[in-house]
Amino acid sequence: MKPTACAVAGVVLVGGCTSLLPYRPRDAAEPGEDGSIVVVLDAAIEAPPARDAAAAEADVAPPTGIGDHSGPALHWRFDEEQGATMAVDSSGHGFDGVYVGDIGLPSPVADVPRQVAFADPWSRQFTLESHQAVRLAPVPPALRPVNDLTVCAWYRATTVDVNPTTAMASGSEVVSGGNHYVLRVRPRQVEFSKRVSGVPAFAQCLPTVTGHLDGNWHHLAGVSSAAGVKLYLDGTERCTNVTPSAQQPILYDQGPDLWVGRHGNNQTYWNFGGNIDDVRIYTRALAPEEIAALAAGGER
């Protein structure tokens, strides 16, 4: 379906400009959220406090020769046998992760996406209540691009985490690069976000969807570039945010580590429960046809 476009206060929005809602905090207990009104596609987005970009840019080293690599800069297939403590990086760049959990570790299971055409013996099963996850500490400079970035993964789930303060469902992290870039599933939405300087402090794609928590496998992909951010579900573009905020570079001023299945900046109620497979991070913005090929089970 061809994206539609509309103009709001001089800003062009592409892909379903059906609502322009005021900011709604995830919960009142989270610090620093200022209630700003943010332009976003089909959803209200969160606005943590602004931070001077210059204060963070000095901490960000440029990618070390990976940016021109056509394949993934990180690729966790999660095909290690039972008892393995490391998630091996198949990209060739050596970014191996560590399986962690308050109780036990994510377990290999034979339930995998049926679409994939490559050898894929296992996915990893994450137990939400045990805070099971994969951690790469710290996020290497090569996985902290200024802008061009694609994050994607297969997941299956039937529920998301609950905020104990409000007793309401919050969401679950699929991939979180220190909370600087995030793939997330929510009760009625999927999300791709990147942290930026100013207000709003996150540029998000947050479309309302159905069927994403039906227990079947789904492919989720987020793309950031100087043109904005995009979110794909099962190979179909569901959201494009081309606001000035979304065109800003990624700001790195929060958590130090890369996580799969857990929040990247120490919030404890965004844990993932279900299966995750074939996590990939590219330090380039994949084209729509490349995302569609991955969602169809191909390799890149």
Query: What does the block give as tokens for 19?
Result: 């609502």
Give residues with Cβ within 8 angstroms of 167, minimum separation 6.
Answer: none
From the DSSP assignment, how many helices (H) and strands (E) are in the chain? 2, 20
For 82-126, what is each residue's pLDDT tens digit? 999 999 999 999 999 999 999 999 999 999 999 999 999 999 999
Looking at residue 69, what is its pLDDT?
56
Supply the pTM of this predicted model: 0.79
Number of neighbours of residue 169 by Cβ within 10 angstroms: 16
Beta bridge partners of 219: 154
Tens-place pLDDT, residues 143-159:
999 999 999 999 999 99
For residue 210, the model assigns a pLDDT of 97
Q: Are 80 and 277 in contact (CB under 8 A)?
A: no
Best CA proximity match to 38, nearest among 230, 204, 235: 204
Write down the residue that tokens 């074939």 correspond to: 278
Ordered mean pLDDT values, 10 residues apiece, the chain (300 residues):
37 36 32 33 37 37 44 98 97 98 98 96 97 98 97 98 96 98 98 96 97 98 98 98 97 98 96 98 97 94
Looking at residue 258, its pLDDT comes to 98
Token reading at 16: 């379903």
Two tokens at 116?
A: 């994939």
Is residue 222 a contact partner of residue 231, using CB atoms and an 8 Å limit?
Answer: yes
- Cα 2 to Cα 5: distance, rounded to the nearest angstrom: 10
CB 131 within 8 A of CB 273: no
183 phi/psi in degrees, rounded to 5 = -105, 130
Domains of the chain (ranges; CATH) run: 48-295 (2.60.120.200)
Q: Where are the beta strands (DSSP E) in 60-142?
A: 74-76, 86-87, 97-100, 107-109, 123-126, 133-136
288 by DSSP, 3-state: which?
Answer: helix
